[in-house]
Structure 1
């Protein structure tokens, strides 16, 4: 099956070469920087969830695991499709801004886009308000892979779709067993397990003043 959408690829890479140098440089490092942002959000989500209910904590821990599973699925699919990179396959295209990966590092789907899609969806399941940050970041990361010339547009579109579907499935299927495990760890006598899971929701006891029980005669 021919996956090549070289016309749109040429249009984007031609446009990329006409942008200011700082834009090109930002695009080259943007994908990796975006991955670091997602890692930081995973850590922050886990730390915050240590003081949340068991279900919220379980989802926060499953989020990076779901992303890792999506990456593995992407690698398996990539090995089966074996599509050549556009920076090597598309003739008369502008040179890629990033170094073209070696032969055997296949193009479809984009691993970076898969990770971005999975991370964005998983973090939204942790905290819905994050959609305003994670969704635009995932789209920008995916587009940057075409912009720098190492992926076709359909590579990143497929990666985003694959990542979101796999992440949703992993979190959905894994929540119940993860909740049971988290409950066991929070009840464990091992201090490391209790530190990792956190104390859960803090309950504040409101003492009733003694005089409140006395009726005024």
Structure 2
């Protein structure tokens, strides 16, 4: 993509950054790096809470970081192929970047931060839908912050978001099934560390118990009580066995 297409927007955003209060600039400078750490911690939380879930849910949780890593590697290959110069050196008349301009050879397109943030946000949203309201805004903030501090063009971060989200979705879909089989195998292991990592899964449901069930077919709950005796008592036993030989002298 021609960098000049978004150069004007880049100037507008970097001008906004220099006109912002100092606390806003400091917040964004810290946040642009901190957001990746926050997403990493959310991956840990997602894995931990799924250790007691079924194997498929656990598989989705552990595939997420791998999907993010694949997206990052893809963005690096993309960078090496395009070799777009950073705007903090290439755009004339732009305000000085708040962050240190990366060295020559650290290419601009697409944004690694945006790619990683989007991949992590999507993978987390798939594994833990309730936190999508947090992960998606974090990814958008990460992307905007890279332009705000002056190290990326707007098109760098836009493509990074799309690329990271797409790669993460495809990798999670492709690897969930084999990862599920692996998790099920790990959960049967006798190695403590392996079981600790995979989790033991949901607790088995207790077997249904028939209170007062008889000892054999045809004897349901409360059988003896219908004969005036508690199940298993002596009268109840005699009732089921029939008359004892010699107990009634009329038949002699």
TM-score category (smaller protein):
over 0.9
State how 1:3-82 maps to structure 2 within 5 Å.
Answer: 3-4=3-4, 5-82=6-83
Give the aligned partner of residue 162 of structure 1.
163
| Larger RCO of the pair (alpha carbons < 8 Å, separation 6+) | 1
Cα distance in 1 for residues equivalent to 2:21 and 2:34: 20
Give the aligned partner of residue 214 of structure 1.
222
Unaligned runs of 5+ in 1: none
Aligned length: 217
Cα distance in 1 for residues equivalent to 2:3 and 2:101: 18
State how 1:112-191 maps to structure 2 within 5 Å.
Answer: 112-191=113-192
Q: Secondary structure at the match of 1:64?
A: helix
Cα distance in 2 for residues equivalent to 1:122 and 1:37: 14
Deviation string 1:6-28 (CA, Å, 9 cap, x unpaired) is 10000000011011101001111
Deviation string 1:37-77 (CA, Å, 9 cap, x unpaired) is 10111001001111001000001000000000000000000
Give the aligned partner of residue 96 of structure 1.
97
Give the aligned partner of residue 248 of structure 2.
none
Give the aligned partner of residue 233 of structure 2.
none
Cα distance in 2 for residues equivalent to 1:33 and 1:198: 29
TM-score normalised by structure 1 residue count: 0.95
Deviation string 1:91-136 (CA, Å, 9 cap, x unpaired) is 0000001010011000000000000000000001101121100011
Deviation string 1:138-165 (CA, Å, 9 cap, x unpaired) is 0011100000000000000000001001
Report deviation, 1:189.
Answer: 1.8
TM-score normalised by structure 2 residue count: 0.82
Give the aligned partner of residue 195 of structure 1.
196
Q: Secondary structure at the match of 1:47?
A: helix
Give the aligned partner of residue 84 of structure 2.
83
Report deviation, 1:211.
Answer: 5.8
Q: Secondary structure at the match of 1:106?
A: coil
